[in-house]
Amino acid sequence: MTIPAYVERDWERYREWMALCAKGDCRYRDLSASAAAPPVSFPDEESRPRCPGYRASLTMEHAQHVLRSSLCERHRAWWGRRQVWLQQQRVRDAAATKQTAKTPWQEG
Ligand SMILES: [Zn+2]
């Protein structure tokens, strides 16, 4: 069964991204947990394209080609580190607020 052109086009793009990610060219490579997102652009953007952080799988379901996208491994790993970092920030902020702010019924 031939793949519809619109699916083939997207699948081709995802395969390029997955190939880039596999050889280490990924926007999420070594991205710090304190960064809210990867840089908007890289200095060598033109000569060195990078995986934007997504991958996909192509399957047949009920005689239809189904393309499912998900986060690439580096994007997923960064997301995990990011959640831990955000949680630590919240704990730190809460501790700082506790030390400085006084509730109205406190004296002194
Ligand atoms: Zn990637």
pLDDT value of residue 13: 97
| Within-domain flag for 76 | yes
- Mean pLDDT (whole number) for 17-33: 97
Cα-based distances in Å from 82 to 37, 77, 101: 10, 9, 28
Distance (angstroms) between ligand 1 centre and the Cα of 67 equals: 17
Distance (angstroms) between ligand 1 centre and the Cα of 21 equals: 4
| Within-domain flag for 15 | yes
Per-residue DSSP letters for 24-48?
Answer: T-BTTTT--TT-SS--S--TTTTTS
- What residues make up the domain containing 53? 5-96
- Mean pLDDT (whole number) for 78-95: 96
| Within-domain flag for 72 | yes
User: Structure tokens of 98?
Assistant: 């506790």
| Within-domain flag for 102 | no
- Mean pLDDT (whole number) for 5-10: 95
pLDDT of 97 higher than 70: yes
What is the count of structural domains for the chain?
A: 1
Distance (angstroms) between ligand 1 centre and the Cα of 63 equals: 30
- Record the pTM: 0.82
| Within-domain flag for 107 | no
Distance (angstroms) between ligand 1 centre and the Cα of 41 equals: 15
pLDDT value of residue 101: 66
pLDDT value of residue 103: 66
| Within-domain flag for 81 | yes
Distance (angstroms) between ligand 1 centre and the Cα of 55 equals: 8
Return all residues near 8 (Cβ < 8 A) that are at least 6 apart. none
| Within-domain flag for 89 | yes
Task: Round the average pLDDT of the chain to a whole number and report it.
Answer: 93
| Within-domain flag for 39 | yes
Percent of the chain with pLDDT over 70: 94
Instruction: Give the model confidence (pLDDT) of 38-58 as tens digits.
Output: 999 999 999 999 999 999 999
